[in-house]
Amino acid sequence: MNENLWNDLDVEATLDAPIGALTWYKSGGHAEVLISPRSVEALQTLCQRFHESDIPMRVLGSGANLLVADDGVDGAVVRLNHSIFQEAHWHELDHGHPTRIGAGTDLMALVQESARRGLSGLSQLAGIPATIGGAIRMNAGGSYGDTAQSVHSIELLTTNGELRRMDAAKLDFGYRHCALPDGIVIAAHFNLRADDAVQIRAHVKEVFEYKKRTQPMADRSAGCMFKNPIDPSTGKRESAGRLIDLAGMKGKSVGGAFVSERHGNFIGLLAGGRANDVLALAFDVQQRVLDHSGIQLEREVVIWSQRGDVL
């Protein structure tokens, strides 16, 4: 990789970076280079140069919905962990504007901070590990609601470095879905409303406790491996965890990877286990559910590998 692509820019770059270790699985391979830009302009120039040189560029959030295969990825991985991408402009609320939040901001911290300020709109996301960019891309959510319900608009740097503002309506948000064009979300604007702080905090607590009760939050995982599929016979969403359970896969393992006893849709990984164990077990689960119920599970977790990203 030609270091002149970033040497003159305000960025921090690490060659042969162990990005798998930065995911919630804490396993998986390296990227040719990991880059943390310190300004939007630096990121913009990076996008332009990588685009012109035809070098693949990916963006890493908090790695909570990501598996990096053991052979890693070619090209560059960008991480928005500099403070410039973690700013919140709360004052905009006073003027009736949506609140602008940098895409590298930690979602859990943001949920707490907005509750502390007596602002509602995000409490449905309590307990979900994410950056704002990752939460937008996945439309993170659960039984209490999703990210989309309070998004006003986003700021996106396209792959060739063009800065675009997109309204939420253009993003076609759906269940764990967002029609995000290729590029990097650098900020999101949220519609937050002044509300009763005590009630908001109580709601945050309720959502968080429900999550802790029903999901193995302490395991190394990427949350739900599969989306809840639509059952063709009823037209309704069926729980993937239930289908995995019915297919007899709870507790099954491959190497260090195991299907959680607590929640069949979580594939955990023991310390020292390999990312490819998770991949092999996920394929196995998919096949067994297909054999058992005739339903093809679609993966929710994003997988990065040398052979191209597995969809």
Ligand X SMILES: Cc1cc2nc3c(=O)[nH]c(=O)nc-3n(C[C@H](O)[C@H](O)[C@H](O)COP(=O)(O)OP(=O)(O)OC[C@H]3O[C@@H](n4cnc5c(N)ncnc54)[C@H](O)[C@@H]3O)c2cc1C
Question: Active-site residue numbers?
Answer: 176, 224, 300
Q: What is the full DSSP assignment across 189-257?
A: EE--EE--HHHHHHHHHHHHHHHHHHS-TTSSS-SBSBPPPBPTTTSSB--HHHHHHHTT-TT-EETTE
For the record, the structure tokens of 302 come out as 């994003």
For ligand X, the binding residues in 141-200 under the rule CB under 6 A are 141-142, 184-185
Q: Is residue 134 at the binding interface for ligand X, with CB under 6 A as the rule?
A: yes
For the record, the structure tokens of 85 come out as 């991408």
For ligand X, which is the closer residue by CB, 26 or 292?
26
Identified binder of ligand X from the candidate list 115, 135, 188, 207, rule CB under 6 A = 135
Min separation Cβ 78 and ligand X, Å:
8
User: Which DSSP helix (H) or strand (E) runs through 267?
Assistant: strand 267-269
For ligand X, the binding residues in 50-89 under the rule CB under 6 A are 58-66, 80
Residue entry with tokens 């896969």: 249
| Number of CB atoms found within 10 A of residue 112's CB | 17
For ligand X, which is the closer residue by CB, 291 or 311?
311
Identified binder of ligand X from the candidate list 57, 67, 103, 171, rule CB under 6 A = 103
What is the DSSP pairing of strand 57-60 with strand 88-89?
unpaired
Q: Is residue 40 at the binding interface for ligand X, with CB under 6 A as the rule?
A: no
Of 28-36, 166-174, 215-223, 234-242: span binding ligand X (CB under 6 A)? 215-223
For ligand X, the binding residues in 17-36 under the rule CB under 6 A are 24
For ligand X, which is the closer residue by CB, 135 or 257?
135
Question: The dihedral of CA 188, 191, 193, 197: what is its sign?
Answer: negative
Contact residues for ligand X, defined by CB under 6 A: 24, 58-66, 80, 103, 128-131, 133-135, 137-138, 140-142, 184-185, 215, 217, 221-223, 302
